[in-house]
Each structure stands twice: as structure tokens, then as C-alpha cells.
Amino acid sequence: MARQIPVVQEDQSEVCNELIRLLRLQKHDFINHFQVVHGLIQLGKIDRALQYIEDLAKDPALVANTLREYKPENCVLKER
């Protein structure tokens, strides 16, 4: 029985690491979208910026299933 505990902890650690990786990717994508909108506004292309935002709002991939697939409450996140 004691041998199973490290395996469970190791699996949980892998899940937590994957969750962190996916959240970082999502953050990166989110920042990129803001940069696109910012650039369009700077160029005076307000209509294109609004359309871009509307398209993003309709994109199901924008809202990742990250938190639905993983249980973040099982992870202890430490600041790095």
C-alpha cells in the first residue's frame, strides 16, 4: 500500500505540471489576441478590431477545456 502513494503523488504531479503548461499556453494566446486588437486600433482599423473581438467571442477554442479536463483543486501551485 505504501508503494502506491508515491505513484499517485507522481501522477498528480504530472497532471499539475500539464495543467500549468496548458494555462501558460492559454495566457500566451490571450496576450497575442490583445496585441492584435491593440495594433488594429493603433492603425485606426476600429471595425476590424471589433470584428476580431466578435470572432474571438464566438470561438469555442478560446475558452479552453483546461479546467474541465483537470481538477486544479488537486494541485498545490507554487510560485516559481
pLDDT for 30-76, tens place per residue?
899 999 999 999 999 999 999 999 998 888 776 655 556 666 565 65
pLDDT value for 72: 59
Look-up of cell digits 490583445: 34
28 pLDDT above the threshold of 70: yes
Euclidean distance between CA atoms 36 and 52, whole angstroms: 9
Q: CA of 40: how far to CAs of 6, 21, 23, 29, in Å?
A: 51, 29, 26, 17
Q: Please choose, from the candidates 72, 66, 2, 68, the residue with its C-alpha nearest in 3D space to the C-alpha of residue 29.
A: 66
Name which residue leads in pLDDT, 1 or 59.
59
